[in-house]
Amino acid sequence: MKRINEIEINIDRLKSELKNFISFFEQGYDYNVMVYELWNAKNILGHVTFWHESFARNISDLGKGIKPNPLKGKLSEVNQLSIETTQNTSINGLIVRLEKAQATIEKYIFDKKIGPIPYKKGSRDYSREEYLEIVTNHIHKHLNDLRKKYCKTTK
């Protein structure tokens, strides 16, 4: 019972963080503003969407009894791939994909038969609770960076 409660708490945190993240991209800002040295705001949305879709694929595969095929390569290479594969998608298109991935995660996250979830080939797998915490923290970090940059830009 404790484990389900922890998952409920963590999924609620993720949903809240994701809502705030998506809301940022519905403000009509210029999302071509550079936030990091090589990434603008839209790149960050693509990056988060890419990783969220990876989590959704892996948990969905496990829920369906299929062996997951997690992302492979160095983290820097996978992060670059996250930008390259999403850069031609519109902001709205990325939001739709992000919401679809979230719906898939929510569909499978309470499935007790799902054990450790792969993150990336060559790294360890994570429990459902751990994965939710990692994803929530990842989104939170990027959202904070976006807010800091856009606060400076809009003043």
Contacts of 78 (CB under 8 A, 6+ apart): 71, 72, 120
Amino acid at site 63: G
| Contact between residue 18 and residue 98 where contact means Cβ atoms under 8 Å apart | yes
Residue-level pLDDT at 153: 56
| pLDDT string in tens for the chain (155-residue length) | 556 689 999 999 999 999 999 999 999 999 999 999 999 999 999 999 999 999 999 999 999 999 999 999 999 999 999 999 999 999 999 999 999 999 999 999 999 999 999 999 989 999 999 999 999 999 999 999 999 999 875 54
| Contact between residue 86 and residue 47 where contact means Cβ atoms under 8 Å apart | yes
| Contact between residue 101 and residue 56 where contact means Cβ atoms under 8 Å apart | yes
For residue 46, the enclosing domain spans: 2-154
Structure tokens at 7: 């998952």
Residue-level pLDDT at 151: 85
CATH of the domain at 55: 1.20.120.450
Q: What are phi and psi of 74, to 5 degrees?
A: -65, 150
Report d(CA 36, CA 20) in Å as an integer.
20
Report d(CA 29, CA 120) in Å as an integer.
33
Other Cβ atoms closer than 10 A to 118: 22
The vertex-150 CA angle with 11 and 49, nearest 5°, equals 40
Report d(CA 66, CA 43) in Å as an integer.
31
Number of domains composing the chain = 1
